[in-house]
Amino acid sequence: MNRKPLAERRAQLVDAALRVAARSGVESVTVRGVAAEAGVSLGTVHYCFHDKTDLLDAMSRSISIETYEHLRDEIARGAGLDAADLLRRLAPVLLDSLKRHRQVRLLLLEIATAGARSETLRPAARIQLTQSVAMAEQLARSLEAATGVRYSVDVAVLARIITVLIDGVELAWLVDEDDDRAVEGFTALGDLILNYLTVPAEPVPNTASA
């Protein structure tokens, strides 16, 4: 019997669940269907995930993290630029990520909308929202560190605004596939963020190499 480490088996099952959801929608993801897709027993899925909510949580985390890391790396490469220039660079990066991960971004939106109408899926949708806002906050902090600016509002509040607006631009693109409008939307989001930035009175020490 092929016994894989738990983390590796969970990753295998998440990939299988994503394939099922990409074909038929997130509401079609069941423990039985994922087991069949992955070629494992029902017991294996139950061993790796407490329930469907746990599985959906893992799916959401998996398909969000790559975009987050890509943006974080782009912000790090732009350290030293002023905030306006760096934010303008992020707009096409967001579009590129959306185009490369069209199906998984659609799945995230499906999880959110399904959770809004289903008590069963609502916990997974709430977990996804919490994760998305947390990632947006981390990116906002990265921008702050890279450009030496500060925010004039609570970063947690700003992170929620960023999350909502990104979702809106992505949904519009998924409907009309208008690249130019999507870049305009992401650029407008950057302009909004600029309105909440202030330059500190004293230079912020660079601790990146410390």
CATH code: domain of residue 173: 1.10.357.10
Asked if residue 185 and residue 157 are part of one domain, the reply reads: yes
Q: What is the pTM of this model?
A: 0.74
> Do 194 and 181 form a contact (C-beta atoms < 8 A)?
no
Q: Are residues 103 and 167 in the same domain?
A: yes
Beta bridge partners of 151: 197
Residue 210 belongs to a domain: no
120 and 104 together in one domain: yes
Same domain, 33 and 64: no
Asked if residue 151 and residue 79 are part of one domain, the reply reads yes
Residue 190 bridge partners (DSSP): none
63-108: per-residue pLDDT in tens? Answer: 777 778 888 898 998 888 889 999 999 999 999 988 887 877 887 8
For the chain, how many helices (H) and strands (E)? 9, 2
- Indicate whether 9 and 62 sit together in one domain: no
| Domain-located, residue 117 | yes
Residue 34 lies in a domain: yes
pLDDT digits (tens, 9 = 90+) for 165-196: 999 999 999 999 999 999 999 999 999 999 99
**Do 127 and 54 form a contact (C-beta atoms < 8 A)?**
no
For residue 62, give its domain range.
52-198
Number of domains in the chain: 2
Amino acid at 30: T
Question: From CA 196, how far away is CA 193, in angstroms rounded?
Answer: 5
Examine the domain organization and report whether 44 and 146 are in the same domain: no
| Angle 48-52-55 from CA coordinates, rounded to 5° | 50
In this predicted structure, what is the pLDDT of residue 133? 94
Q: Specify which residues 198 forms β-bridges with.
A: 150
Which DSSP helix (H) or strand (E) runs through 198? strand 197-198
- Measured CA to CA, the distance from residue 57 to residue 50 in angstroms comes to 11
